[in-house]
Amino acid sequence: ITAIEIEHKKNEAEKTSEQIDKTREVYRPAAARASLLYFIMNDLRKIHPMYQFSLKAFKIVFAKASQKSEESDDVKQRVLNLIDSITYSTSLYTTRSLFEQHKLIFTSQMVFQILLTNKEIDLKELEFLLRYPYVPNLVSPVDFLNELSWGGVKALSNMEEFHNLDRDIEGSAKRWKKFVESEAPEKEKFPQEWKSKTSLQKLCIMRALRPDRMLYALSLFVEEKLGRKYVENRAIE
């Protein structure tokens, strides 16, 4: 073997290594999604101690999902197909092991974490939705909202994206009353400019106005963000 051949093989090895690195980076989003989903699954033990998912089992789900994902000559599309397949397969695998009342909790958490990772939602808005830090000891000025709901409205109104929500509800009480007292407000258009708010922002408002409809509103949110297949055939009790 001559020095020229050695140099040639070295150059080829460097090019191959560089190509592998580039390919690895292209597929990194799929690996990141899998990692995110596994940690969400692991957090389910906080809901019920019987929810235990091993990494070994998850690797099998991941491998099968990768094999089942739709092929594509376009690498970027291939990665998107992988992400979709991994996400859906993980969702199916996990929800089959959950009590019915916990399935929507898991899929909602999955959506929230995906959107946060993609920087598509605001963390403060999500924290309001999950924690509901209402302002206590307030008297509701409208007859269609109780003190707890009005406290939530006031808390939301302190956030920039919900500025003047409280004033609007008071000033346009008739419109808001019709909305709040509708049978399925999560399917109705929000009054005035509030109908142009993001889906998460609408969830926050719904959390304050009609907490009894949150299961249905969350189900619609999951369907909008991930697709119908994530919520179909799932009873809401």
Does the pLDDT value for residue 3 go beyond 90?
no
pLDDT on residue 51: 94
pLDDT on residue 214: 96
Look at the alpha carbons of 147, 135, 116, 47 in this order and tell me if their dihedral is positive or negative: negative
Say what the pTM is: 0.86
In whole angstroms, give the CA distance from residue 229 to residue 92. 10
Does the pLDDT value for residue 120 go beyond 50?
yes
Structure confidence by residue, pLDDT tens digits, 122-173: 999 999 999 999 999 999 999 999 999 999 999 999 999 999 999 999 999 9
Neighbours of 106 (CB within 10 A): 21
pLDDT on residue 6: 64
pLDDT band at 27 (very low <50, low <70, confident <90, very high): confident
Does the pLDDT value for residue 237 go beyond 90?
no
Which of the pair, 25 or 102, is modelled with greater confidence? 102
What is the share, in percent, of the chain residues with pLDDT greater than 70? Answer: 89
Task: Give the single-character DSSP code of 118.
Answer: T
DSSP secondary structure letters along 185-230:
GGGSPPSGGGGGS-HHHHHHHHHHH-GGGHHHHHHHHHHHHH-GGG
Does the pLDDT value for residue 235 go beyond 50?
no
- Between the alpha carbon of residue 63 and those of residues 55, 69, 71, 78, 122, the distances in Å are 12, 10, 15, 15, 33
Please check whether residue 201 is in contact with residue 156, taking contact to mean a CB–CB distance below 8 angstroms: no
Mean pLDDT of the residues in the chain? 91
Q: What's the rounded mean pLDDT across residues 97-119?
A: 94
In whole angstroms, give the CA distance from residue 78 to residue 85. 11
pLDDT on residue 160: 94
Tell me which residue has tokens 């993001």: 198
Does the pLDDT value for residue 198 go beyond 70?
yes
pLDDT on residue 21: 60
pLDDT on residue 25: 83
Q: Which phi and psi angles does 172 have, rounded to 5°?
A: -120, 50
pLDDT on residue 184: 97
pLDDT band at 13 (very low <50, low <70, confident <90, very high): low
